[in-house]
Chains A and B, each alone.
Chain A
Amino acid sequence: MAHIQLKNISKTFGNHTALTGLDLDIADGEFFVLLGETGAGKTTTLRLIAGLEKPSEGQVFIDGVDVADWGAAERDVALVLQQYSLYPRYTVRENLEFPLKPKIRRLPDAEIKDRVDRAARTLRIEHLLDRKTDRLSGGEMQRVSIGRAIVRKPRVFLMDEPLSALDAKLREALRTELKNLQMQLGATFLFVTHDQIEAMSMGDKVGVLNHGRIVQTGTPHEIYNNPRDTYVASFVGSPPMNLIDGKLVNGRAVMAPLNFELPFSGGAKASGATDGRPLVFGVRPEDVYLESGAPVEARVHDVENHGVEKILTLRVGDATLRATVPARTDVAIEQAVRFAWNPDKVVLFDKGSGVSLRHVG
């Protein structure tokens, strides 16, 4: 198992800059999730670590050793891709044996059989071993490609959106399985995804990538509750954090174009939140609640029933904001409601830079 470090990595493809000044530190045995939109540079980061691409600048360290001159084979990583990349025309068993068979590091047959059987048992694909890969379903194929990664006992597992091509049920099941597998093996995992639910549910640590830069690294809890800037705030969470422009006046949050006020106690008040400074107030939908005596009136614009809860879209003036309320709350569209927020949970962002005041200094 291994400790991975990226130092000041930049990567350009012709005129296109994929990564700029990327620093990343993945501890031994950690499940690290790299989260970002399509084109943010997630896959490039993965390929740099795997040795399939060379960085334009910066260094990659595996266990403290600079691996700039090492090829993919020497780095001893396993890579699971979205498109499965199983070897066609071979059976599942032959696919699983493939990484164990090259002559240079050929293992004894008994050992190969043992490892393949163990991997098949872990992933519950024993009954498929003699099947050709083109007769497998998507979920089975992805299990086989994960199996091909684990038979080898690599130093690091790199996974490039392995679950994106699967249907929802299977994705959920494999999510749990992967997490369990990682804990069983105690291996270092780097998991790339654009799905923030995957990131939140699987990661020990999450790195949010935006336009080739790491915006924030932290535990899912930190990322969710204390986003570093408005990008992270709006990208993580479903529905995303409400972001409202305004300023502080005498312990009250005064929303500027929207024209409503909410109490804002000094409790969560961060340094630099002086009266009158243009700010963005960020509040999670679950920290917005409806109450008959609450200070602000709004109209219900839309109701999304999720079974366990309802997601309301409230309309205040021209703007909308989201609120998560218990499913038993009885509301109708266009009904007038009153709402308030939980001031302790409100995050303040600087209007100009978008950076959270808690993260400045």
Chain B
Amino acid sequence: MATTMITTLDRSSRAAARGLSDISIRNLFIIPTVLFLIVFNIFPLIYSLGYSFTDFRASTNAPANFVGLQNYRDLLNDPYVWSNFAITAKYVIISVAGQLLVGFGVAMLLNRDIPMKGLLTTLLLLPMMLSMAVVGLFWKLLYDPSFGIINYALGLGTFEWLSDPKMALYAVALTDIWMWSPFVMLLSLAGLSAVPKHLYEAAAIDRAGPFYTFFRITLPLVAPILMIAVIFRTMEAFKTFDLAYILTSQPTAELISIRLYKMAFQEWQTGRSCALAYIVLIMVLAITNIYVKYLNKVKER
């Protein structure tokens, strides 16, 4: 993209008849979006950065006092916040790994000539299209200890998935895996179908077994697109809120975004929660950057 071309206006076009040049048409399309982004994204972002250095509380009329890095210092020294981070990390790892395994596995199964492949793929994509809140609500019913179908099917009696401190986080992760595996599957399918067929034929001729072919041809060629899936899913999992919030109130499943929500809207520590939001943002950015670096390395090979 070294040069940007602005083509000259076609004299006979309708836009020309209305006296619009290419540049004004371009501005017409771009300016509303830019304005929207500035008003709803960039302005709050910068405004909250300002608040993160104050002791502002949105619930009182007291003026905000500048406290410097006090909020950040407190938060980073708070063992509770760190335990929230640890829970979040555990949740991210379990749910992303699960989605990767299930999604890629299903994609491998689907990547062949089977009857009704299109219909099957569409049906498998459905969980992804549901609203988070809806998924949370009806998995809550599925997990229900007294009438939930999961306990009934597995014969677990009245096992309390969501109230069990050890199980709650896994239960949330399981729901997330159910919901988002299709996304990984979709990307994997695209990657798998892009592997040229003649490479598999060449490998078969070269007498490579199925495992050898998988690890030496399929995986290296699909790796970049799998990495993209991992990046997306990690970012999303890191900021999971609604699913976990609806499903469980166990402190062992209190993700960082739930902690943030409580801090901001139940305890009304607006300044401090802004600081926490910034810490989370920086962490997500850092993780994403590491991934992107790695992705570029995978692509280069």
Contacts and interface: CB of A to CB of B under 8 A. Distances in A.
B205 A102 contact: no
B217 A77 contact: no
A268 interface: no
Nearest to B213: A102
Nearest to B208: A102
A98 B196 contact: no
Given A102-B209, A104-B209, A85 B199 contact: yes
B294 to A, nearest CB: 15
Contact of B202 (A51, A85, A89, A152): A85
Interface string A77-94: 111010101011100000
B212 to A, nearest CB: 5
B220 interface: yes
20 contacts: A50-B205, A52-B205, A72-B205, A72-B207, A73-B205, A73-B207, A73-B208, A79-B205, A83-B198, A85-B198, A87-B216, A89-B220, A99-B206, A99-B207, A102-B206, A102-B212, A103-B212, A104-B207, A148-B206, A152-B206
Given A83-B198, A85-B196, A77 B212 contact: no
A89 B221 CA distance: 8
Contacts of A51: 204
A78 B216 CA distance: 19
Nearest to A98: B206
Contacts of A101: 212
A15 to B, nearest CB: 18
B293 interface: no
Nearest to A50: B205
B301 interface: yes
A78 B221 CA distance: 23
Given A89-B220, A89-B301, A99 B201 contact: no
Contacts of A104: 207, 209
A52 B212 contact: no
A50 to B, nearest CB: 6
A87 B209 contact: no
B207 A88 contact: no
Contacts of A152: 206-207
Given A89-B301, A99-B206, A52 B201 contact: yes
Instruction: State which size class the interface on A falls in.
Output: 20 to 34
Nearest to A104: B209
B209 to A, nearest CB: 6
A85 B199 CA distance: 6
Interface in B210-226: 212, 216-217, 220-221
A87 B217 contact: yes
Contacts of A39: none
A51 B207 CA distance: 12
Contact of A81 (B202, B203, B209, B221): B202
Contacts of B209: 102-104
Contacts of A102: 206-209, 212
B199 A87 contact: yes
A105 interface: yes
Interface in A40-62: 50-52
Nearest to B199: A85
A299 B30 CA distance: 70
Contacts of B203: 87, 98
Contacts of B206: 98-99, 102, 148, 152
Given A73-B205, A83-B196, A99-B207, 7 more contacts: A78-B205, A79-B202, A81-B201, A85-B196, A85-B202, A87-B216, A104-B209
B207 A105 contact: yes
Interface string B29-68: 0000000000000000000000000000000000000000
Given A52-B201, A78-B205, A85-B198, A98 B221 contact: no
B181 to A, nearest CB: 27
Nearest to A81: B198
A105 B209 CA distance: 10
A317 interface: no
A52 B199 contact: no
A102 B187 CA distance: 29
A107 to B, nearest CB: 12
Closest 8 CB pairs of A and B: A99-B206, A73-B207, A72-B204, A85-B202, A85-B198, A79-B205, A102-B212, A102-B208
Contacts of A72: 201, 204-205, 207
Give the interface centre of B199, B206, B208, B301 by most chain A CB atoms within 10 Å.
B206
Interface in A87-121: 87-89, 98-99, 101-105
Given A85-B196, A87-B199, A89-B220, A98 B208 contact: yes
